[in-house]
Amino acid sequence: MEIQTSGKPIDQLLEKVLCMNILSSDYFKELYRLKTYHEVIDEIYNQVDHVEPWMTGNCRGPSTAFCLLYKFFTMKLTVKQMHGLLKHPDSPYIRCVGFLYLRYAADPKTLWNWFEPYVKDEEEFSPGSNGRMTTMGVYVRDLLLGQYYFDTLFPRVPVPVVRQIVAHLEKMKLPSKHCGVTGDTTRGSDDTARRPPSVKASLSVSFGQRAPHRASTRDSSPVRRTMPPPSYDKNGEDDYSRKSPSNRRSQSRDLSDRDYSDRDRGRDRDRDRERDRDRDRDRERDRDMDRERDRSRDRERERDRDRRHDYERRSRESSRRDYSSREGSRYYTEGTSRRSRSRSRSRSRSRSVQTHSHPSPKRDGIKEKTSASGNLSKLRELYGDLSIQKEDAAKDRAPNRGSSGEEVIRLGGSTWK
């Protein structure tokens, strides 16, 4: 079961400068080899000797404790693992890393339930690099009540939750004020002032941020606090300024401060110019995208127009082909009908020619009968018509036949036999 968190990503809970320095540090990149919860605990036991967020001395960069704390953030600890951290007997710094994890990532409403068993813890250790000893209970109470932690900021706890925590502490008869073991309640403690200002200032400036404690560092510097006031002679001249090299150093510091301010103004101007250039690049990119969108729209219109022309041309060609095929079929049917009519006419003519050239037997018989009747009439004219005169004689006589039995036709008779 995972710990109930506030729901915000860790890069929004940590200060931006600290978070970016942790992610870019070589030591944090080496922690990729640690895969398990117990390996990270062993690394804390072997390497951590304070729980400040930044390295001490002239070193620049995030501390080992906070790099390992960020490693725990990436692992998303469970409730059982967190209890193992808070009750670990080997090193107080292992327990401190667990309390810091809860102070950053846990839901503010659950902080008191986690921290309550340890507000009276008497284990002594030094949370900072200055060697100042305190107890785990005081350290835990400062985590609950304080907004600032050495040179960094904690996530803000809602005011109603803070009131409930104060009421619980007063009920337990414990101090309800910040004790200062995790730094002052405001930026720029004495420990921070004694530290070289380049530790966090250079880091924050390199990331485009101004170090919040630099002004307090200059104001609360031990050199300036212990410097005697200057003495003036009768002529109003500053003998101390003429004779004291330390004052000349302070003047050089003032000049360097002015140089820093001029440099900051120059950085601001450069940042504004860069922002204007970015804005111009974005506008130019938007214009290019609009032009490209218009060109693509025009190309699409051209394609649609070409498709429409092709479709109309194909439709015209297909209609023309259909018309030509219909006309060809009509011509073909008319031609075949004409040829069939001409063939029928030629057949009728050939039949008529054949009938004229080859007369039929009936017509021959008719012709022969007409020719015989013509001959008979001629004979009648030559020999006379004896049929009337000899009609009675012919009736009485029997017909004469030849020896061969054939009928004999007598010329000049009344009838043919």
Interval 26-42: pLDDT, tens: 999 999 999 999 999 99
Average pLDDT over residues 44-63: 88
In a domain, 62, yes or no: yes
Is 275 part of any domain? Answer: no
Has residue 242 been placed in a domain?
A: no
What pLDDT shows up at residue 95?
95
User: What local confidence, expressed as pLDDT, does residue 256 receive?
Assistant: 52
Structure tokens at 310: 């092709």
**What's the rounded mean pLDDT across residues 371-395?**
64
Which secondary structure element, helix H or strand E, spans residue 153, and what is its range? strand 152-153
Decide if 381 is inside a domain: no
Closest C-alpha among 150, 61, 184, 157 to residue 102 = 157
Q: For the chain, how big is the Rg over CA atoms in Å? A: 67
Please provide residue 246's backbone torsions phi and psi, each rounded to the nearest 5 degrees: -65, -35
The answer to whether position 151 is within a domain reads yes
Query: pLDDT at position 222, please?
Result: 41
In a domain, 22, yes or no: yes
Question: In the predicted model, is pLDDT for residue 237 greater than 80?
Answer: no
Confidence of residue 268 (pLDDT cuts 50, 70, 90): confident
Report whether pLDDT(241) > 50.
no
The model's confidence at residue 313, banded by pLDDT at 50, 70 and 90, is confident
Of residues 195 and 100, more confidence is placed in: 100
* Predicted pLDDT of residue 84: 93
In sequence order, the 6+-apart residues with CB closer than 8 A to the CB of 105 are 3, 5, 6, 10, 13, 73
Distance, CA of 115 to CA of 93 (rounded, Å): 16
Mean pLDDT across the stretch 38-52? 94
Give the bridge partners for 149, in sequence order.
152
Comparing 108-112, 127-131, 222-226, the range with the smallest average pLDDT is 222-226
Comparing 174 with 60, which gets the higher pLDDT? 174
Which residue has better confidence, 272 or 243?
A: 272
User: In terms of C-beta density within 10 A (0-12 exposed, 13-18 middle, 19 or more buried), how is residue 80 classed?
Assistant: exposed
Min mean pLDDT across 80-84, 265-269, 360-364 is at 360-364
Residue bearing the bigger pLDDT, 263 or 302: 302
Indicate the Cα dihedral angle 364, 368, 374, 377, nearest 10°.
-150
Residue 279 pLDDT greater than 70, yes or no: yes
User: 292-318: buried (b, 16+ CB within 10 Å) or exposed (e) per residue?
Assistant: eeeeeeeeeeeeeeeeeeeeeeeeeee
Whether 149 is covered by a domain: the verdict is yes
Report whether 121 contacts 140 (CB < 8 A).
yes
Maximal CA-CA distance, the chain: 221
Banded model confidence at residue 386, pLDDT cuts 50, 70, 90: low
pLDDT digits (tens, 9 = 90+) for 133-188: 999 999 999 999 998 998 899 999 999 999 999 999 999 999 888 888 887 666 55
H or E element that contains 124: strand 124-125
How confident is the model at residue 343, as a pLDDT? 65
Tell me the two tokens of residue 165.
Answer: 């925590």
Mean pLDDT of the chain: 75
Integer angstrom CA distances of residue 207 from 17, 147, 271, 279:
7, 23, 12, 20
More confident residue, 201 or 129: 129
At 368, give phi and psi (nearest 5°): -65, -40
Residue 417: its pLDDT value, please? 44
Say how many Å lie between the first and final Cα of the chain, rounded: 153
Report the number of secondary-structure helices (H) and strands (E) in the chain.
Answer: 18, 4
* Average pLDDT of the residues in 240-253: 48
Number of domains in the chain: 1
Are residues 202 and 163 in contact, defined by beta-carbon separation less than 8 angstroms?
A: no
Asked if the model's pLDDT at residue 242 lies above 80, the reply is no
Q: At what angle do helices 92-105 and 37-47 cross, to 10 degrees?
A: 120
pLDDT at residue 236, rounded to an integer: 44
Q: pLDDT digit string (tens) for 80-116?
A: 999 999 999 999 999 999 999 999 999 999 999 999 9
Kindly tell me the burial class for residue 340, based on how many C-beta atoms sit within 10 Å of its own C-beta (0-12, 13-18, 19 or more). Answer: exposed
The lowest-confidence range among 31-40, 74-83, 333-342, 382-391 is 382-391
CB 121 within 8 A of CB 96: no
**CA–CA separation, 390 vs 395, rounded Å?**
9
CA separation for the pair 321, 318 (Å, rounded): 5
Rounded Cα distance, 126 and 132, in Å: 5
How high is the pLDDT of residue 166? 94
State residue 227's pLDDT score: 47
Is 386 domain-assigned? no
Pairing of strands 124-125, 134-135: antiparallel
Q: Among the listed ranges 48-57, 109-118, 145-154, 202-211, which one has the minimum average pLDDT value?
A: 202-211
Domain span at residue 80 reads 10-172
| Structure letter (DSSP) for residue 157 | P
